[in-house]
Structure 1
Amino acid sequence: MFALAAGLAPTGPLLAAALFCAGAADSVTDVAQNVHGLRLQRSYGRFIINSLHAVWSSGAVLGGLFGAGAIYLGIPRAVQLTASGVAFSAICLVGYRFLLPGPDHDAPPAQHELTAVRSGRRTYLVLAALVAIAIAGAVIEDAGSSWATLYLRDSLSAPAAIAAFGFVAVVGFQFIGRLLGDRMVDRWGQRAVARAGGLTIAVGMGIALAFPTVPGTIAGFAAAGFGSATLVPAAMHAADELPGLRPGTGLTVLTWLMRVGFLGSPILVGAIADAASLRIGLLTVPVAGLATVLLARVLSARSRSARS
């Protein structure tokens, strides 16, 4: 509905309002999808959440390709968004038939003890650390979607066709990392994988920014995408299992606050770029990687287990 409204919006403010409502609706849907995905993961008895998020990464690529194709073919915005809204709504309705029946609150054992284990200061500190890890993942995704092409084109003088590979590198290698992520987490545990990912982000983008070249920068963005692949899924899984919180509360809080990262990251990078340069602004990416290394201690060190 909001996609249709955005397509038919005659003015910029109405378009912004429609997109705002679409984003608000997406935040609710996002929580529901992840709650159901984590329920499915518990029934499997092993990690699958990273693979589910890999589908999101592929959707981001497809969405970008659809938009670019519509622009190239001169398809009006109203036609594109209306057709997309109808098509994707139909896909969702078909998929709805295959969801697990009943409520999603078949909580893990830690949450069954809600009356015995009350949420305390430590629970909220752990939740804050998990939110920070998720925001670090959001910062890296935003660097790819908002700044990679601009940095390669304007700062490194890459041709437009080559500059687009910055975004492709982030999302593409994030997709690969998520496809491999469940096996890595099953083998080494969420904590070790997140720390390795944080180091990959920090080293890869750090070298790319220290020695700026077009190939090196694209490789740096690829490293950032691969390193960030499991961060958001791991934070969501851990938040959903926090003891002392009602089922779904930790995941809901994390998902909504993570969007602060999506909103604040471009503002922060843009402000630094205005004051110094975009190259300096993109230092937020290796900083996010280092922060992940430090914060990953709140994640589980266990391997071969997706259950509490």
Structure 2
Amino acid sequence: MSTPPASRIRRARAATGLLFLTNGALLANLIPRYPEIKAALDMTDSLFGLSVAAFPLGAMIFGVFAAGLIRRFGSGVIATLMTITLAVCLAATAFMPEVFLFALALLLAGGADAIADVSQNAHGLQVQDAYGRSILNSFHALWSLGAVVGGFMAAGVLFIELDLHVHLVGSAVCFIVVALIAWTMTLPPACPEGSPETAPGADARRQDLKRIQWAVLRNPNTMLMVGALVLLAMAEAVVEDSGNSWSALYMSVHLGAPSAVAAFGFTALVAGQLIGRATADRFVDRFGQRRVIRTGGIIISVGMGLAIAWPTVPLTIAGFAAAGFGSSALIPAAYNAADDIPGLRPGVGLTVVSWFMRLGFLIAPPFVGALSDMLSLRWALLVVPLAGLVTIVLARVLPGRHTAIQQRL
């Protein structure tokens, strides 16, 4: 396929940014309302942890279809459709009268989010290839910006005591419109109908490629690389889940913060991610992913470690901000490295790492919830500094400056 004109590439970059922003804002509008939903459905911490784990479970169930859908319809179309589905499912959580139905809505939302996540990252990598330089972190920065916007929206409606149902439906309608605007500017599929991917004999070629991929994945060096990237992505998932599932509950119930203030635990985490992702591309280009990610692991461990040791509202908000900043480049680094694994078709490494990353999101909520019921939520949140330590150790598999993946195996 010929290279799109510069104006088309710029519009595609804007479209990708809008999709990332929308994805971040949608979930951020729901998360600060979790304590209200938990109280309305009379859930214990353990039951709440199991319920919100339905979101990553849905991601694991449905996320495996992402690569095939992207190849068939194109990353831009799939990212838009799944964003709309995500918006509808998240709004539906406000209307669920039973824990099971609440979890079911999150299950479907998680599936839509997983496919949207892979699709928008695939589209971002397509745009990045056209630019010829690192821009993926800037898209993840826009996800964080969207989450900050969503967090402030939620804090605002909590302050004015707007009804939960009106809030989530209004948020869904608003960001569905944004997603549709983005869709009009996306790039066409990398392998459209009529290309070698769908030409006569393509089925045989696809079978050959599948055999090559399985041979690559069975290679011990490749398995170690994929495993390390999965663990790095899972470490980020643990950090992010601390803000997603537990920050509002921890600050409102355990630290006594008002609901509007408790919303800023999550907002601080995503604001830290925003600042980190807005600057990460320059640091990665200058120092390499390995040093950037290792430094981030130190910031996660120290920041949240201090917040847990001295549990006050201001220090806890600062700790979540440090965790967000330290983890900001983890997912882009893991996705970049996964998409560059030799021998794998475009999107395959990305899908593998994204799918297994969801295991971290799946395990973290019920694990933290069980620890909270046994000990307390304060000590259960020690999983965050531990995730920082894992990041410090495994950063070695990422490239230093101008280092190829083959040289790290």
TM-score interval, smaller chain = 0.7 to 0.9
Residue 123 of structure 2 is matched in structure 1 by: 36
CA shift for structure 1 position 10: 6.1
Aligned to 1:288: 387
1:50 maps to 137
CA distance in 2, matches of 1:175, 1:167: 12
Task: Classify the secondary structure of the residue corresponding to 2:370.
Answer: helix
Q: Give CA deviations for 1:130-169 in whole Å, capped at 9, x if unaligned.
A: 1111111111111122222333344344454544332222
Q: Out of 101, 109, 131, which is 2:188 matched to? A: 101
SS at match of 2:185: coil
For residues 304 and 104 of structure 2, the distance between their equivalents in structure 1, rounded to whole angstroms, comes to: 35
The counterpart of 1:254, out of the listed 353, 358, 361, is: 353
Change in 2 beyond 3 A, CA 1:32/1:11:
same
Amino acid at match of 2:251: L
Is 1:238 equivalent to 2:325 in the alignment? no
1:303 CA displacement? 5.0
Query: What letter is aligned with 2:391?
Result: T
Structure-2 residue corresponding to 1:203: 302
Tell me the TM-score normalised to structure 1 length.
Answer: 0.85
The residue aligned with 1:273 is 372
Paired residues of 1:187 and 1:304 also in contact (CA < 8 A):
no
Distance 1:224 1:9, change over 3 A: closer
- Give the CA deviation at 1:190: 0.6
Q: Per-residue displacement from partner, 1:43-74 (whole Å, max 9, x unpaired)?
A: 22221111101111122233334445556464
The whole-number CA distance in structure 1 between the counterparts of 2:256 and 2:153 is 26
Q: C-alpha displacement at 1:211, in angstroms?
A: 3.2
Are 2:280 and 1:193 aligned? no
Answer whether contact 1:269 1:281 (CA < 8 A) is retained: yes
2:399 to 270, 292, 300: 300
CA distance in 2, matches of 1:294, 1:256: 22
2:320 to 207, 221, 233: 221
SS in 2 for 1:237: helix
Distance in 2 (CA, whole Å) between partners of 1:85 and 1:135 is 28
CA 1:200–1:262 in 2, change beyond 3 Å: closer, same or farther?
Answer: same
State the distance in 1 between where 2:169 and 2:251 align: 33
User: What does residue 111 of structure 2 align with?
Assistant: 24
Alpha carbons 2:300, 2:327 under 8 Å: kept: yes
Distance 1:86 1:150, change over 3 A: closer
Q: How far does residue 238 in structure 1 lie from its aligned partner after superposition?
A: 0.7
Structure 2 unaligned regions, length at least 5? 1-83, 193-208
1:118 alignment partner, SS class: helix
Contact 1:165 1:218 in 2 (8 A): yes
Code of the residue aligned with 1:52 in structure 2: it is F
**Aligned partner (choices 119, 133, 147) of residue 246 of structure 2:** 147
Does the residue aligned with 2:216 lie in a helix, a strand or coil?
coil
Larger mean Cα displacement after TM superposition, 65-74 or 168-177:
65-74
One-letter amino acid matched to 2:124: G
- For 2:93 and 2:306, the matched residues in 1 are separated by 42
Mapped to 1, the partners of 2:164 and 2:378 lie a distance apart of 35
Distance 1:59 1:304, change over 3 A: farther
The answer on 1:118 being equivalent to 2:216 is yes
- Which residue among 168, 174, 185 is the counterpart of 2:273? 174
Partner-residue secondary structure (3-state), 1:164:
helix
Q: Decide which of 219, 227, 231 is 1:132's aligned counterpart.
A: 231
The separation in 1 between residues aligned to 2:161 and 2:310, in whole angstroms, is 38
Counterpart for residue 92 of structure 1: 179
**Given the superposition, is the C-alpha separation of residues 153 and 26 from structure 1 closer, same or farther in structure 2, using an over 3 Å criterion?**
closer
Aligned-partner residue type, residue 302 of structure 2: V
* C-alpha RMSD of the superposition: 2.9
Letter in 2 for 1:206: G
Superposition TM-score, scaled by structure 2 size: 0.65
8 A Cα contact 1:200 1:223, kept in partner: yes
Residue 125 of structure 1 deviates from its aligned partner by 1.6
Cα distance in 2 for partners of 1:272, 1:90 equals: 41
State the distance in 2 between where 1:70 and 1:164 align. 11
| Letter of the structure 2 residue corresponding to residue 145 of structure 1 | N
